[in-house]
């Protein structure tokens, strides 16, 4: 009996060691999380990786038998709403990686991973991004930009190249240049190599002194990422000022000129789709942490998720938003949510290891009226 007691004590000690291995600072391209373990209870706090000053969210979870895995609820206040999701995470490579999946009431499980911090720094591993495909590649081939460079600011950063174009397909810029006539999208592709872990790229788009879009991405090593503007009809004409920064320092400035079909760069009211009512803006993307669209578009390559993000303003109380998703002509999801005033909401689909290829459509209804239907392609 004494030997059995010794064995049991050793097993309990081993389980406790595994449980404590979960404690500490962890992170991903989306979040930074500080975990603590007490008995079988996991608690913690987390903040968005792109907004470390935001109010922290809370993590509450329970260890699974063996102490190497836990399930948890993550909750965070975003404006007047509380955003929640759940995770199952297991210690994959001891002291370095927690991997598993996350899900919400509206989405099926999708892959999720946290990397352990080393000396307070959380590594970002190329090709392992829990927000879905991020247009990052592990290829070491460097492609020289062919975009016009007269608008570049000398930056002395040889491992970052910026290309402006109309769209991007499989990492390849399409219709490279800095002047476009009635495009539905414009984009800036950034190729990088040899970057330290946790480097931050930022895109800033301005028009007439007004910020049109701002996006940041934590990267490292060698790869590429893009960000741009998109419209269901045509981008508003004008001279857009694009600034790309690396770790807070400007690496390129471009003027991207968008002209109307007749050649004018003057903004006209005809650029707003007449079918879109005031106060509702619809964007389809791969994810939308904090209401910020990630990789928006209409053609997606092996995405783990698709999200239809709705930003609304001045809506009456208890206005109903409704999302209807169609794949290959068959309805696969129908979701409604009640909103009021100004804010954002989304609904989406996910799949493992990637979503089923094919044609998709998502229709957005506001207060019973069709706002728009967006045709999508998953490859």
Cα first-last separation, the chain: 62
- Taking the C-alpha atoms of residue 198 and residue 221, their distance in angstroms, rounded to an integer, is 9
Residue the block writes with tokens 């975003």: 78
Q: Supply the pLDDT for residue 3.
A: 52
> Nearest-CA neighbor of 196 among 215, 217, 219, 216?
219
The torsion of the CA quartet 241, 245, 250, 256, rounded to 10 degrees, works out to -20
Task: Indicate the pairing of strand 185-207 with strand 172-174.
Answer: unpaired
Instruction: Identify whether the C-beta of residue 378 lies closer than 8 Å to the C-beta of residue 356.
Output: yes
Structure token digits, residue 250: 């400007």
Q: Decide yes or no: CATH 2.30.29 for domain 2-116.
A: no
3-state secondary structure of 172: strand
Establish how many alpha carbons lie within 13 A of residue 271's alpha carbon, considering only the half-sphere containing its beta carbon.
21
Instruction: Identify whether the C-beta of residue 220 lies closer than 8 Å to the C-beta of residue 124.
Output: yes
- Taking the C-alpha atoms of residue 180 and residue 165, their distance in angstroms, rounded to an integer, is 9
pLDDT in tens for each of the 379 residues of the chain?
555 454 444 444 445 556 678 888 888 777 889 999 998 899 999 998 777 788 899 999 988 887 888 888 999 887 777 888 888 888 875 456 787 777 776 665 666 778 887 776 665 443 333 333 222 222 222 222 222 222 333 333 336 888 899 888 777 788 888 888 888 889 998 888 777 888 888 898 888 877 878 888 888 888 888 888 887 677 888 888 899 888 888 888 888 988 887 655 554 433 333 333 447 889 999 888 878 888 888 888 888 888 999 988 888 888 888 999 998 888 888 888 888 888 888 888 887 777 888 899 999 998 888 888 999 999 8
Where are the domains positioned within the chain?
Answer: 2-116, 160-271, 280-378
Structure token digits, residue 278: 């005031």
Q: Supply the pLDDT for residue 151.
A: 32
- Taking the C-alpha atoms of residue 114 and residue 116, their distance in angstroms, rounded to an integer, is 7
What's the chain's Rg over C-alpha atoms?
23
Instruction: Identify whether the C-beta of residue 158 lies closer than 8 Å to the C-beta of residue 235.
Output: no
Please determine whether the domains at 2-116 and 160-271 fall in the same fold group of CATH: no
- Taking the C-alpha atoms of residue 379 and residue 372, their distance in angstroms, rounded to an integer, is 23
Topology of the domain comprising 160-271: Immunoglobulin-like (2.60.40)
Topology of the domain comprising 280-378: Immunoglobulin-like (2.60.40)
């Amino acid at each position: 009996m004494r030997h059995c007691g010794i064995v049991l004590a050793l097993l309990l000690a081993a389980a406790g060691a595994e449980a404590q291995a979960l404690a500490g600072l962890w992170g991903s391209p989306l979040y930074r999380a500080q975990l603590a373990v007490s008995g079988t209870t996991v608690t913690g706090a987390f903040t968005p990786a792109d907004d470390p000053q935001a109010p922290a969210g809370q993590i509450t979870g329970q260890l699974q038998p063996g102490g190497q895995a836990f399930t948890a609820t993550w909750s965070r206040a975003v404006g007047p709403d509380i955003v929640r999701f759940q995770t199952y995470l297991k210690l994959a490579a001891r002291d370095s990686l927690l991997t598993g999946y996350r899900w919400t009431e509206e989405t099926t499980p999708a892959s999720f991973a946290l990397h352990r911090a080393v000396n307070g720094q959380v590594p970002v591993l190329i090709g392992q991004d829990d927000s879905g495909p991020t247009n990052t590649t592990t290829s070491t081939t460097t492609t020289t930009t062919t975009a016009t460079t007269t608008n570049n600011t000398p930056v002395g950063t040889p491992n970052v190249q910026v290309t402006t174009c109309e769209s991007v397909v499989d990492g390849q810029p399409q219709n490279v240049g800095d002047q476009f006539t009635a495009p539905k999208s414009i984009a800036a592709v950034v190729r990088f190599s040899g970057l330290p872990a946790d480097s931050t790229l930022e895109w800033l788009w301005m028009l007439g002194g007004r910020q049109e879009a701002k996006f940041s991405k934590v990267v490292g090593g060698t790869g590429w990422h893009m960000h741009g503007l998109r419209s269901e009809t045509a981008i508003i004409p004008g001279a857009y000022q694009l600034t790309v920064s690396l770790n807070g320092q400007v690496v390129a400035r471009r003027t991207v000129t968008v002209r109307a079909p007749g050649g004018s760069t003057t903004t006209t009211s005809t650029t707003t789709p007449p079918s879109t009512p005031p106060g509702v803006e619809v964007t389809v993307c791969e994810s939308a942490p904090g209401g910020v669209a990630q990789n928006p578009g209409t053609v997606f390559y092996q995405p783990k998720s698709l999200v239809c993000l709705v930003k609304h303003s001045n809506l009456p109380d208890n206005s109903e938003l409704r999302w209807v998703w169609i794949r290959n002509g068959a309805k696969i999801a129908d979701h409604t949510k009640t909103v009021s005033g100004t804010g954002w909401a989304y609904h989406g689909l996910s799949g493992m290891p990637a979503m089923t290829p094919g044609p998709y459509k998502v229709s957005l209804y506001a207060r019973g009226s069709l706002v728009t239907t967006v045709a999508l392609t998953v490859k």
